[in-house]
Structure 1
Amino acid sequence: MKERQKITRLNGISKWLSNSVSESEDKQYTHRLLKEDKNQRDIILSELILIVQKAHGDARSRLCKLAGNSLAPFGEFSESDPSEGYPERLHIQTLKGFFGEIFAGIIAENFSPFEHDDWEVPAFLFRFHPVVFQHLEFINQTGETAKNQPGRTGDDCLAFRRNIKGEIIGYLACEAKCTAKHDTDMISEAHKKASAANIKSVDIL
């Protein structure tokens, strides 16, 4: 099996985030509490920035590939980079959502969910968020200020486990919520989604 480099692997994460796990009495839920040591933030920040850049680089590359050949029949339109301004021109709420999805991948690849340390996040699903890319094209053409866009439907992040043949033997559906302070309603919403009746993730395909 070809080894995939985990783009969300953080070398200093154990120094930055303390990690404690507890289990409900009925064994139905496991809770992992991560607490930041702010004194270690500077140590991890450059590495975290690189992870975010790589994650968005995947979406940027896909967008450029989708642009393909020019559709202008007489060549009167100058070609431009369709990923220009991605993601920095987008609304802060959109960026917080993206960061939550990336952080879900960081947790999957660094904290051994369900006692497996071989989870892989091959791609971030915000690469499939056409509403955001349409809005980016609009603000690039008009110069208008970005507005908050509806979140992408489905799961926020998918991680996979593979056997020695490279075949998928397990998947992890992640739901991320990013907020500046504790928000009980937002957490309840995430629990409700994680407990939905569908057995398989709607984003498997």
Structure 2
Amino acid sequence: MTSYTDIFNHYREHFYCRVEQEYSWYKQPGNLRDAVERAFLSINEKGEIEDHQSRYGIPKCLPLAAEIALEHLDTQCIIDFDNFNSIYQFVRSVRKKVKGFGELANYDVAMRIAHYQGCGELQVVYLHAGVKTGFRALGLNEKNRRIIPIEEFPEPFNQLSGDHLENLLCLYKKMLDGSSVEFPKTCIRPKRNSSSINKNGRVC
């Protein structure tokens, strides 16, 4: 893949729907308490620990993180869970008390809870771990910023929501370093009235 559009299209074809299916699993619990527990335990629909949380001994700390999260939840105002940043800070408060529960787990768990709450489709990208590498590969300067609006990204990446763009930057960080902003003229933006566009306005 030699262009941004090649990478964009490859992500849409091979990863977009897979990620949405993952989010659907974390939307299924019947109440917020169960959703928070599922998000922290990071066990997918197949009964396996999610890839990101299966590394470096993280699985051992997940039950403790879930336990602490549920204790915190008992004293948390439900209105604090109406936006991603508040949810992210809630998870961060748990992270501070659990050794081995890192920045990537913080983001992933917060994203699962946010999708359960209906506020997971972000208009910004949180820079962390491999996402920073992908961001720099685009030739962009993070300038000590942690959160980047999607409109600052080049076409066609800014057609994605921030949660998907974060995923793309991490997955394709090495390819982005050797790719070009130039893209084929045959690549057109999806029509908004297309029957293949799902309820979130994404092509699937």
TM-score when scaled to structure 2? 0.28
TM-score when scaled to structure 1? 0.28
**Going by fraction, where is strand more abundant, 1 or 2?**
1
Rg: which structure is higher? 1
**Going by fraction, where is helix more abundant, 1 or 2?**
2
